Amino acid sequence: MDLLRHFARPLPMEVICELVGIPDADRPRWREYGAAVAAGIGLNFAAAVPGIIEGAKAAVARRRAEPADDLLSDLIRAQAEDGDRLSDTEMVTLVWQLVLAGQTPTNLVANAVDALLAHPGQLAALRAGPGRMPGGVQELIRWCGPQLLAIPRYAQEDVELHGVLIRTGEPVVAAIVSANRDPRAFPDPDRLDLARAPGAAHLGFAHGPHFCLGASLARVETEVALAGLLHRFPDLGCAGADAARVPDGGTWRLASLPVRL
Ligand code: HEM
């Protein structure tokens, strides 16, 4: 089976829709928006934007009419109690941002399974000691995390970094992938070592005020996905062909992940 298509892709979308409060009936359209956004900048992406905004507005309106036990209902309740909290525009923005960002663990789960299948010794150790899962997932994020680059920033003043002058207004991109393989922070950085002693923190979720809002969710989701998969399928293995990668300068991701269960 293709583990990307049948497991790693649907799972995070289901989880984030459940948490945020997107009703079952609306999930197919969010899966379509998610696919358009994940495919990158292009005509499909641009064409999806009006639907995304409409979908988020519809989700807020529905939860206002039928509150339930989810994030959106909580936010609406808080807004009613203290009108100062979030404006309607902020709430709509939050919904689409969370749902679309919430699908990113897909690429981490797929990369992690691909990496484990290529490192049978590490996989066996993880199976033998499920307690190694949280540390193992941290190492997998360092070694094969999907986000290669931070979002561009623009220098607000001239600044010199390591002998290079960056002028006011010039864009700067931090290469997360490079920082996570820095030998000064991680000895023998190209080696995947799930038992690596936590020394320097990886930057897979960035750093500072814009540290990933969903980092804890992404970590736990990946732990649960891997633990469930390894437990249910003791013979999980590659199905022959090398898993193909999508040519994408910003995201390290697979086009498919053929496995034997
Ligand atoms: C493996 C999964 C994930 C990875 C590798 C990842 C990575 C990142 C990175 C690197 C940033 C910082 C970008 C920058 O400022 O340059 C970021 C920001 C963000 N992430 Fe994630 N993320 C993941 C999962 C999620 C999930 C599940 C959610 C939502 C539930 C989420 C929501 C966000 C949001 C809202 C921001 C913007 C935070 C801000 O600007 O203050 N992410 N993520």
CATH number, domain of 229, equals: 1.10.630.10
Q: Whose CA is nearest to atom 6 of ligand 1?
A: 205
Mean pLDDT, the chain, as a whole number?
Answer: 92
Ligand 1 neighbourhood includes 101 CB (under 6 angstroms): yes
Residues 109 and 97 both lie in one domain: no
Residues 11 and 110 both lie in one domain: no
Q: Which of 248, 246, 249 is nearest to 257 (CA)?
A: 246
CA 99 to centroid of ligand 1, rounded, Å: 11
Ligand 1 neighbourhood includes 145 CB (under 6 angstroms): yes
Q: What is the residue range of 17's domain?
A: 3-101
Residues 97 and 207 both lie in one domain: no
Our count of domains for the chain comes to 2
Residues 193 and 248 both lie in one domain: yes
Residues 120 and 179 both lie in one domain: yes
pLDDT at 123: 97
Confidence of residue 130 (pLDDT cuts 50, 70, 90): confident
Looking at 76, 101, 126, which one is the last position of a domain? 101
Residues 97 and 109 both lie in one domain: no
Beta bridge partners of 161: 164
Residues 50 and 120 both lie in one domain: no
Residues 41 and 158 both lie in one domain: no
Residues 55 and 136 both lie in one domain: no
CA 50 to centroid of ligand 1, rounded, Å: 23
Q: What is the pLDDT of residues 172-214, one digit of tens each?
A: 999 999 999 999 999 999 999 999 987 678 999 999 999 999 9
Q: Whose CA is nearest to atom 15 of ligand 1?
A: 210
Q: What is the pLDDT of residues 66-91, one digit of tens each?
A: 999 999 999 888 888 876 678 889 99
Residues 89 and 182 both lie in one domain: no
Closest atom, ligand 1, to C-alpha of 147? 5
Looking at 101, 131, 156, which one is the last position of a domain? 101
Beta bridge partners of 149: 175
Q: How many CA atoms lie within 13 A of 121 on its CB side?
A: 5
pTM for the whole structure: 0.94
Residues 252 and 157 both lie in one domain: yes
pLDDT at 252 over 70: yes
Counting beta carbons within 10 angstroms of the beta carbon of residue 29, is it exposed (0 to 12), middle (13 to 18) or buried (19 or more)?
middle
Closest atom, ligand 1, to C-alpha of 12? 27
Residues 170 and 77 both lie in one domain: no
CA 205 to centroid of ligand 1, rounded, Å: 6
Ligand 1 neighbourhood includes 210 CB (under 6 angstroms): yes
Looking at 101, 130, 146, which one is the last position of a domain? 101
Q: Whose CA is nearest to atom 36 of ligand 1?
A: 212
pLDDT at 83: 65
Q: By the 8 A CB rule, do 8 and 113 touch? A: yes
